[in-house]
């Protein structure tokens, strides 16, 4: 693992695109469950150790805005990860549909192109709209997977291409892996919100179906604003304990 303290020093906030040093503002737990009951069961088992939760397609398609409402009623922040990808008018309409339901962050897919992202950004320019993040290359994809869908570049080059496109379109930040986040931070500047999935606790060997992973400390050191953690927490026997360990990793970056 990198020497995070030495790397960051007093520049942690400028690297991460966030003014907060509270680790709970950095960790997002992915509620990848098929029902509200299962999701809320995990929330309760976390015993207040987490402030942010990701609602992805599996849970949102099962429960809709109800799950966002329940999380907001309990005082939590919501990252709505729908990876919107359609013609510009349809994506803009989807952004307007979720405006005001309580999500603080919402994803669109950068592969939809500049006009689609620009339409989404315009739709999200009203009060109550979530901040938009563009998904670049999924952390489950490697160079071989990209070549299979006709992208000749490696993931790092493709991520940077999409990052620049998203910036031109007025998107607030990106979702990218820890492997690319340093280069993306340099390209997008200190204010961009960069959310990094594929996070594994220090010393954890299993990567599940992720290809490009890192520890929490490594991702923060490279310039991540927020980290998304799913199965290492949600499938743990003691999820609150695992979450506390990741929060401690993050906290060490600011000492």
Strands (E), the chain: 27-30, 52-56, 77-84, 105-109, 131-135, 173-175, 193-196, 226-229
Q: Which of 54, 83, 167, 193 is catalytic?
A: 83
Residue 96 has which token pair?
């307007």
CA separation for the pair 172, 28 (Å, rounded): 18
**Which residue shows structure tokens 């690319």?**
180
**83 carries an active-site annotation:** yes
- With a CB cutoff of 8 Å and minimum separation 6, the contacts of 141 are 155, 211
114, 168 contact by CB (below 8 A)? yes
Query: Quick one: DSSP state of residue 113?
Result: -
Q: Which residues are catalytic?
A: 83
């Amino acid at each position: 693992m990198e020497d995070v303290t030495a790397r960051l020093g007093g520049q942690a906030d400028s690297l991460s695109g966030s003014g907060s040093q509270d680790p709970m503002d950095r960790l997002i737990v992915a509620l990848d469950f098929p029902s509200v009951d299962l999701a809320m069961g995990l929330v309760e088992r976390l015993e207040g150790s987490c402030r942010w939760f990701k609602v992805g397609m599996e849970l949102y398609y099962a429960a809709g805005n109800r799950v966002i409402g329940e999380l907001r009623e309990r005082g939590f922040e919501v990252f709505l990860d729908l990876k919107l990808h359609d013609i510009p008018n349809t994506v803009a309409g989807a952004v307007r549909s979720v405006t005001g339901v309580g999500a603080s962050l919402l994803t669109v897919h950068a592969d939809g192109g500049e006009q689609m992202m620009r339409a989404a950004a315009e739709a999200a320019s009203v009060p109550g709209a979530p901040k938009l993040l563009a998904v670049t290359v999924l952390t489950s994809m490697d160079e071989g997977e990209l070549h299979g869908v006709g992208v000749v570049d490696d993931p790092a080059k493709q991520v940077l291409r999409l990052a620049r496109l998203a910036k031109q379109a007025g998107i607030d930040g990106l979702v990218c892996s820890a492997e690319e986040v340093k280069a993306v931070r340099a390209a997008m500047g200190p204010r961009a919100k960069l959310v990094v999935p594929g996070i594994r606790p220090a010393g954890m060997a299993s990567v599940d179906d992720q290809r490009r992973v890192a520890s929490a400390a490594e991702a923060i050191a490279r310039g991540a604003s927020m980290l998304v953690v799913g199965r290492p927490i949600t499938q743990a026997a003691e999820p609150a304990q695992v979450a506390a360990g990741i929060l401690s990793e993050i906290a060490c970056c600011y000492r």
